[in-house]
Amino acid sequence: MHDYVRKILSSSVYEVAVQTPLDKMKRLSERLGQTILLKREDEQPVFSFKIRGAHNRIAHLTAEERARGVICASAGNHAQGVALSASRAGIRSVIVMPTTTPDIKVSSVRQLGGEVVLFGEGFDAARAHAEELAERHGYVFVHPFDDPDVIAGQGTIGLEIVRQHPGPIGAIYVPIGGGGLAAGIASFVKFLRPEIRVIGVEPEEAASMQAAIAAGRPVALDQVGLFADGVAVRQVGDETFRLCRDLLDDIVTVSADEICAAIKDIFDDTRAIAEPAGALALAGLRREIETGKAPEGALIAINSGANVNFDRLRYVAERAEIGERAEALLGVTIPERPGSYRAFIRLLGQRAITEFNYRYAAGSEAHIFVGIKLAGGEKEKQEIVTHLTGNGLEVTDLTDNEVAKLHVRHMVGGRVAGLDNEMIFRFEFPERPGALLRFLEGLNDEWNISLFHYRNHGADYGRVLVGAEVPPETRADLFAHIEAIGFPYWDETENPVYRQFLQAR
């Protein structure tokens, strides 16, 4: 720890980086009843904290290493830091980026002087290719997180925080991808102010540090979600693991919906738009307050970046209300007779309806897909469900049902008779030009496709809902075929939202 404190205090980051503000989130603080501060790393020259570690590493290159040039692998933020720092120093930089990287980050790297190589569908493939190129051409590899100089550069954020807020601090919440930011901040804060809790935050779909600590060593996850691309790392570093294991007080995981809600919180308070990884720490902070685990004193979240594709905001806006428990999605069965809808709406009183989907189907029952705006979160939702069931209606809570949120809310519209052997599957695949065609070409004509729904959500992965007629005797063959396609999938045939709104009668 002493070595890292010395490195942090002697860091060269301010040759390129700036000291960022520590802003109070007034609206969120009032709403949650605690002082919440946001460290604004989105205000760096490359709109991300990564410039700190990248420049500190490049500043320590020897003359011989500078002449060889540098290379790195990154989903975008580290890439921009390396490109800017190398450009300022007059050094050649080659940047290997996954093919799924948002266009805004690729364009920015090129504008900053980096030579972009697009390779692989995720960070790990890009890193392997960058290491191969470094070996082949003699470039100096600038690691995005598992390097002492990089870790020390990120640790200057901890130095700034304790200077900017000398009063009581309950906890600092730090996003974790490979662990360099968390390791750097914890190294300094735990040395100077050991009473401050340092909490790492990871997405549920990319919790590589939590997996490493549970296993006692860095382990590779089978797959990681790409929504928060800035922290989509399958395996943390050896050095970052050692420091985070010894210095972090806890690690919190959050859902994509919670991240979307945190992006909205940041916008409401600052009018700034954070990238998903940038809002990750605030999502963890909120989770701790809502579960009663947050300590007393000021709570600080690191807004690590703002490099987000504009079209991704469609998905963020759609999911933010659910993430902050401001919307409930319900499937409600009412009598199929005149006046039933009016009676149903009266039961909801003056609550705002965000969505109301229905199509006639023969029979005595009607199924409604309804969205309701909430002011009282989970408690209010349960009150609504109790009130409706108390009045004789059958209610299915779909608020956390992925098929409902991603697909069925856009599909309510009728059923088809005679599909006795229909099965329903949900797939995810990396979102890039040609990806949907590749997915379709992987399907086999042996089974008749009975349902297909795809929407481009502006995220880094596409989601498809597929129905197929599958006779029982061929189901084993179908599963073998799906496994061979190679994309993550879920069998949703028994999902209640499918059975209620789409299944043939």
Whether pLDDT at 462 is above 80: no
Average pLDDT, the chain: 89
Mind listing the pLDDT tens digit for each residue in 10-69?
Answer: 999 999 999 999 999 999 999 999 999 999 999 999 999 999 999 999 999 999 999 999
Judge if 165 and 288 occupy the same domain: yes
State whether 136 and 58 are in the same domain.
yes
pLDDT band at 196 (very low <50, low <70, confident <90, very high): very high
Contact 80/109 with Cβ under 8 angstroms? yes
For the ranges 228-232, 275-279, 299-303, the lowest mean pLDDT is seen at 228-232
**Is 0.85 topped by the overall pTM?**
no
- How far, in Å, CA of 472 to CA of 83, rounded? 56
- Indicate whether 186 and 306 sit together in one domain: yes
Indicate the helix (H) or strand (E) that contains 329: strand 327-335
- Residue 460 has a pLDDT of 58
Say if CB 140 and CB 69 are below 8 A apart.
yes
Contact 112, 105 (CB under 8 A): no
Please count the other Cβ atoms lying within 10 Å of the Cβ belonging to residue 90.
Answer: 8
Q: CB of 241 within 8 A of CB of 179?
A: yes
Q: What is the CATH number of the domain that holds 273?
A: 3.40.50.1100
pLDDT for 433 beyond 60? no
Do 73 and 175 lie in one domain? The reply is no
As a whole number of angstroms, the distance between CA 24 and CA 406 comes to 34
Share of the chain above pLDDT 90, in %: 59
Give residue 103's pLDDT band: very low, low, confident or very high (50, 70, 90): confident
Four-residue CA torsion sign, 446, 438, 463, 230? positive
Q: Do residues 67 and 185 share a domain?
A: no
Averaged over 283-296, what is the pLDDT? 96
Length of the chain: 505
Candidate from 101-105, 439-443, 450-454, 464-468 with smallest mean pLDDT: 439-443
Same domain, 287 and 153: yes
The pLDDT confidence band at residue 431, using thresholds 50, 70 and 90, is low
The count of other CB atoms within 10 Å of the CB of residue 348 is: 16
- Position 76 scores a pLDDT of 80
Residue 463 has pLDDT above 90, yes or no: no
Same domain (yes/no): 258, 312: yes
Could you give the dihedral angle defined by the CA atoms of residues 313, 318, 323 and 326, in that order, rounded to the nearest 10 degrees? 130
Q: Which residue has the tokens 């390779």?
A: 119
Q: Looking at the structure, do residues 193 and 264 belong to the same domain, yes or no? A: yes
The residue segments making up the domain with residue 450 are 409-501
C-alpha 340 chain-centroid distance: 41
Same domain, 164 and 34: yes
The last residue of one of the domains, among 400, 424, 448, is 400
What is the arithmetic mean of pLDDT over 94-100? 88
Query: Does 28 share its domain with 171?
Result: yes
Report CA 451 to chain centroid distance, whole Å.
Answer: 28
CATH at residue 355: 3.40.1020.10
What positions carry a catalytic annotation? 50, 304
**225 and 364, same domain (yes or no):** no
Model confidence over 396-430: pLDDT tens digits? Answer: 999 988 888 888 888 876 666 777 888 999 988 76
Number of structural domains the chain divides into: 4
DSSP line for 86-145: HHHHT--EEEEE-TTS-HHHHHHHHHTT-EEEE-SSSHHHHHHHHHHHHHHH-PEE--SS
Q: What is the rounded distance in angstroms from the CA atom of residue 452 to the CA atom of residue 426? A: 10
Cα 266–chain centre separation: 15
Q: Does residue 213 surpass a pLDDT of 90?
A: yes
Specify whether 236 is located in the same domain as 173.
Answer: yes
**CB–CB of 75/103 below 8 Å?**
no
- Measured CA angle at 66 (ends 60, 67), to 5 deg: 160
pLDDT tens digits, one per residue of 436-460: 666 767 776 778 778 888 766 555 5
CA 120 to the chain's CA centroid: 19
Given this model, what pLDDT does residue 425 score?
92
> Cα(320)–Cα(263) distance, rounded to whole angstroms?
8
Q: What percent of the chain has pLDDT over 70?
A: 93
pLDDT band per the 50, 70, 90 thresholds, residue 490: very high
3-state DSSP of 7-41: HHHCCCHHHCCCCCCEEECHHHHHHHCCCEEEEEH
- Could you give the angle at the alpha carbon of 455 between the alpha carbons of 450 and 458, nearest 5°? 160
**Considering 290, 321, 352, which residue would you say is the last residue of a domain?**
321
CA distance 320 to 369: 19
Contacts 24+ apart (CB under 8 A), 262-265: 262/286, 262/323, 263/316, 263/320, 264/316, 264/317, 264/320, 264/323, 264/324, 265/25, 265/27, 265/28, 265/324
**pLDDT of the residue at 324:** 74
Side by side, the strands of the sheet bearing 22-24 are 22-24, 36-40, 298-303, 169-175, 197-203, 250-254
* Confidence (pLDDT) at 127: 86
Partners of residue 250 on adjacent β-strands: 199
pLDDT of residue 88: 94
Mean pLDDT throughout 473-485? 88
- Residue 333: pLDDT above 70? yes
The last residue of a domain, from among 321, 344, 360: 321
